[in-house]
Chains A and B, each alone.
Chain A
Amino acid sequence: MTGMVAQMPDRDRKVAERVPTDWKTGAMQTRIRRRYAAERRFRFMGLAAVVLSAAFLAFLLVTMLAQGLRGFTETRLALPIDFAAAGLEVTPAQLEQRGADAALASAGLERVVDNAAVAAFGPDGMDLISDTAWIRVGERLKADPGLLGGQAVIAVPASAGVDLAAKSGDTPLDARVAELRAQNRLTTGFAWGFLTGADSTDPTRVGIWGALKGSILTMVVTLLLAFPIGVLSAVYLEEYAPRNRWTDLIEVSINNLAAVPSIIFGLLGLAVFLATFQMPRSAALVGGLTLALMTMPVIVIAGRNAVKAVPPSIRDAALGIGASRVQVVFHHVIPLALPGILTGTIIGMARALGETAPLLMIGMRAFIAGPPGGFTSPATALPVQVFLWSDEVSRGFVEKTSAAIIVLLVFLLAMNGLAIYLRNKFEQRW
């Protein structure tokens, strides 16, 4: 303080020299106008960035919708069949028993349907109806065994070529389809089979349920493993871990695992679960394990942030009346952090649901014609199915791929929406 007093004369001399700023001069006004223009430009750039990013998203979603919605419909042909005359070796009683499918298959229903197609549409009839049209006919028969005794007109799925020609044209079958349409034998309907069936080599018969069920089974395994482990380690690291080299190591591992390319987890699954532990290839169990390892760090990080966000005053309050540290955590911290943890979990699960590359590594890219039976039976998952279908020969798969993408996106958007809802609902209550 004394030093300051000593300098004072010097300061006063220097200070007096400045003239007050005149804000009204032309130069100053121009300058201010330029500054405001720069401000507007900058702001516009920001807005443009937001709009552009949102536009990309909108474009992506609209494109997928436009391409994929057609995948949910199928073209059907009205096929007259004279069951009485066809000589189908099956009785109505058999159709009501458990072995109905086998009975129909061995009774030569396929041949009957093919013959009916040739009879109805001419020599190219078999190319017009789907290879598996007879299965649809069989289902009708099971529903209504009475048909066996007479004639019926059954709407069967058209072949991929007809379907494509009917929907988009520009195929060799266009003329034929126009003819059929003129005869009123062509209808379009919602393809329920797409929602209930499994993979197939025939685009008119593929379904998403097999892959969806595979995804669900995989996700169940992932959730059961990643959630408890993730939450417990988040709690440990945030509430108890002493600061030492070990916890640093755990922290580094977790942060690193959260960013390790997913394909490396695939390599891990391949080397550890398949090669070392001899677990079954292509199984949802292994997929779930692999994805759980990938999801766990995401949950840990979200969990730690949520735990950190619980105000220390709550812990103090509980400790202050004599709660032990485990009681503090289980009575107060975890319940309060739960929304945050759940949000992180959902986001991690959504990421796992969309993940493809690691599943390719552990053999979940096989062709499997039926929905998986359990955790150890072979399965695919939705994104893998998308990848596989995008590579199919037949043009009919293009719209099916997009349709599968729509199913996948619906799930993901729902999950993300739920996470956002949770986050907004529980954001900062204290």
Chain B
Amino acid sequence: MSTLALLILLIGLGIVAWVSARLRLSRLAGEERTHSLPLYHGWYVALWTAVPPILFLILWVNITPALVSYAVIDTPVAARILPSEPLERSALLAEARALAKGQIEAPFNADARLLAPAYAETQSRYDLGATALALILAFAGFAYAFTRVRPDFRARTRVERIVMAALLGASLVAILTTVGIVASLLFESFRFFSMVNPLDFLFGTRWSPQATVLPGEDPGFGAVPLFWGTIFIGAIIAMLVAIPLGLMSAVYLTQYARPAVRRWMKPILEILAGVPTVVYGYFAALTVAPVIRDAAAAIGIANASSESALAAGLVMGIMIIPFVSSMADDSIAAVPGSMRDGSLAMGATSSETIRRVLIPAALPGVVGGVLLAVSRAIGETMIVVMAAGLAANLTANPFASVTTVTTQIVQLLTGDQEFDSAKTLAAFALGLVLFVVTLLLNIVALRVVKRYREAYE
């Protein structure tokens, strides 16, 4: 029986179990009040019936291919034709299996045809076993749970415990993801650092990665220009745009604008954050960058690059406006209204109230928001890929081309180079740095925001 059919059968059995548990309960209980509603008894028995065999099936689906393959290897045909080289052998086995399942018509290796019947035969034997085992499990589970159905049985508590386990499991996915990220970055980074000295990487000022690192030579993996470029674009230029615009927009919308204006303008500004970054990148590269270059040329700056830090930073700043403004908005709104009333009642004007009371009181929240915005900006990729170029310059000239960590990751991993080289691995090391920096930024930002929230709650 195919796995899918078996799955459907098990679900069917679960439904039968659900119904029969309810019937049994109503027969046993009669008019008596039961501890748990029939529904929970139904679920309890259904889960016991269906879940163990399904878990078994999942396990089974993952291990049978291996078991079947080993069984096939032990057949006389296989002993005769299987090559000894592991890769070839495995390719042959895979093809034989595909032939046996009818997934392909012709194999790469003609020998696979000889092996296919053995595969088909073994596979069907194992499938039969799986079906039998699954059914036994289902009935055993059913019997166990069914006999426990009694009016005073606390089925609800049991079922709820399972629900809680599911909830806990879901929240662990976040941890798994974090672990996955750290593991995948750390492993490759270690390999990189075995080729390149970490100090050279972190403090070197020349970024010109070569695929192979010759001993005794500057490997060109000094990431300082990348770090600088990232900070220059993401934390300096973008913030010069985003902080004043975002903060003032938040102030205007929360303190001055009529509710109708606020209701409309806020979501409109939020669209700025919803536009895909690849669109910003295109916009920056094709519309903003040429304007900036021409403007630079017009004011006599020679050699203005068309891929300037300014173009990327400017557009990124625009993208970040809603982050700053919504965080500022929240923090200003979180300042108790009594502060504002207190100041107004002293005869302060609105702007005095905002500047001297509200913003200072909201400052930690605003700062936290800005830090989050910075972390978002330094992680931004596409705008820089498309608009700021690849030149790892260590320059403070906004009209020059600079590059960022994320851009280099994309370049290193999608450009023309061999895998496993220092160049590829460098991408993971850069990713690790990026991850650590955003982690720190976030922890600081969340601390700041939280402490400040607590101050008012």
Known interface pairs A49-B252, A255-B446; A236-B279 also in contact (CB < 8 Å): no
- Asked if A386 contacts B282 (CB within 8 A), the reply is yes
Q: Please report the C-alpha to C-alpha distance between residue A45 and residue B54 in the assembled complex, in whole angstroms.
A: 63
The residue in chain A whose Cβ has the minimal distance to the Cβ of B168 is: A236
Q: Write the nearest CB–CB distance from B66 to chain A, whole angstroms.
A: 14
Which listed residue, B248, B249, B275, B380, touches A261 by the CB 8 Å rule?
B380
Q: Please report the C-alpha to C-alpha distance between residue A402 and residue B255 in the assembled complex, in whole angstroms.
A: 38
Q: Write the nearest CB–CB distance from B136 to chain A, whole angstroms.
A: 31
Q: Please report the C-alpha to C-alpha distance between residue A53 and residue B275 in the assembled complex, in whole angstroms.
A: 14
Task: Tell whether A241 is near chain B: CB-to-CB under 8 Å.
Answer: yes
Which listed residue, B171, B246, B279, B428, touches A386 by the CB 8 Å rule?
B279
- Asked if B434 contacts A408 (CB within 8 A), the reply is no
Known interface pairs A261-B438, A347-B274; A64-B279 also in contact (CB < 8 Å): yes
Task: Render B70-103 as a binary contact track against A, CB cut-off 8 A, 1 for contact.
Answer: 0000000000000000000000000000000000
Task: Tell whether A35 is near chain B: CB-to-CB under 8 Å.
Answer: yes
Q: Write the nearest CB–CB distance from B373 to chain A, whole angstroms.
A: 10
- Asked if A47 contacts B269 (CB within 8 A), the reply is no
Known interface pairs A261-B406, A296-B173; A405-B351 also in contact (CB < 8 Å): no
Task: Tell whether B178 is near chain A: CB-to-CB under 8 Å.
Answer: yes
Task: Tell whether A201 is near chain B: CB-to-CB under 8 Å.
Answer: no
Which listed residue, A49, A57, A233, A357, touches B173 by the CB 8 Å rule?
A233
- Asked if A261 contacts B378 (CB within 8 A), the reply is yes
Chain A interface main SS type: helix
- Asked if A35 contacts B352 (CB within 8 A), the reply is yes
- Asked if B355 contacts A42 (CB within 8 A), the reply is yes
Q: Please report the C-alpha to C-alpha distance between residue A324 and residue B154 in the assembled complex, in whole angstroms.
A: 12
Known interface pairs A236-B168, A256-B178, A268-B180; A263-B406 also in contact (CB < 8 Å): yes
The residue in chain B whose Cβ has the minimal distance to the Cβ of A38 is: B351
Task: Tell whether A120 is near chain B: CB-to-CB under 8 Å.
Answer: no
Q: Please report the C-alpha to C-alpha distance between residue A351 and residue B319 in the assembled complex, in whole angstroms.
A: 13
Across the interface, which residues of A come within 8 angstroms of B274, CB to CB?
A: 347, 350-351, 354, 412-413, 415-416
Across the interface, which residues of B come within 8 angstroms of A384, CB to CB?
A: 278
Task: Tell whether B354 is near chain A: CB-to-CB under 8 Å.
Answer: yes
Q: Please report the C-alpha to C-alpha distance between residue A355 and residue B276 in the assembled complex, in whole angstroms.
A: 6
**Looking at chain A, what size class is its interface with the partner chain?**
35 or more
Task: Tell whether A229 is near chain B: CB-to-CB under 8 Å.
Answer: yes
Q: Write the nearest CB–CB distance from A257 to chain B, whole angstroms.
A: 6
Across the interface, which residues of B come within 8 angstroms of A240, CB to CB?
A: 164, 167
Task: Tell whether B417 is near chain A: CB-to-CB under 8 Å.
Answer: no
Q: Please report the C-alpha to C-alpha distance between residue A387 and residue B442 in the assembled complex, in whole angstroms.
A: 29
Which listed residue, B156, B244, B271, touches A416 by the CB 8 Å rule?
B271
B positions within 8 Å CB-CB of A: 156, 160, 163-164, 166-175, 177-178, 180-181, 183-185, 187-188, 244-249, 251-253, 255-257, 263, 265, 267-272, 274-283, 285-287, 318, 321, 325, 349-352, 354-355, 372, 375-376, 378-382, 385-386, 406, 409-410, 413-414, 427-428, 431, 434-435, 438-439, 441-443, 446
Known: A60-B280, A250-B174. 10 other contacts (CB 8 A): A53-B325, A250-B172, A257-B174, A259-B441, A296-B173, A300-B174, A390-B282, A390-B286, A413-B271, A416-B270
